[in-house]
Amino acid sequence: MIISSNDFGSSVLERLNDLENRSNIKLSKYQKILLAEIGTVEMVLSLIVNSPIKVEVIKQQRNTHGEYLREVWLCDNEGKRLLHAASICYIDKIPSFTAVNEVTNGRIGIGSIIAKNNIDSTRVITNLGYDDSLKKLFRTYTINHADEIMFSISESFGIDQFRD
């Protein structure tokens, strides 16, 4: 089945409207962009906050299945934490040795690694939500290559961030 870009946009808009209605919140245009974007989060964040984005690695470790578990904060140039991300990196599905090394080094974001290494990929948003107890918006998505998942990512940011 082929979905036109118009259908995709309508689908995401419906999901965001549903999130607002279920959670009784009003999302800003920046929050909607961050929840719905399927490019690189670092690029979108840098445009929103007008600052280069840095990756602050909180934790990165290899599990018994050979996957890398990675937890980071994306920060502005002054170190202000903007967005939290937790990822499972399926190393054996990444088609570039250089990209694998960059993932394990943990110095740059996953989206930047994919772009820098010209890896053909698609992003699939699997969940959008709002945690009222934590006052955080969140989303989960996968980054796929050749119909296989390379990364599973969960991102969150405060409901009061990125307001118009």
- pLDDT by residue (tens digit) across 133-157? 999 999 999 999 999 999 999 999 9
pTM to 2 decimals? 0.83
pLDDT tens digit sequence for 85-135: 999 999 999 999 999 999 988 888 898 899 899 999 999 999 999 999 999
Domain ranges of the chain: 5-158
Q: What does the pLDDT read at residue 4? A: 32
pLDDT at 70: 95
Q: What is the pLDDT of residues 62-73, one digit of tens each?
A: 999 989 999 999
CATH superfamily of 5-158: Chorismate lyase-like (3.40.1410.10)
- Give a three-class secondary structure readout of the chain: CCCCHHHHHHHHHHHHHHHHHHHCCCCCHHHHHHHHCCCCHHHHHHHHHCCCCEEEEEEEEECCCCCEEEEEEEECCCCCEEEEEEEEECHHHCCCHHHHHHHHHCCCCHHHHHHHCCCCCEEEEEEEEEECCCCEEEEEEEEEECCEEEEEEEEEEECCCCCC
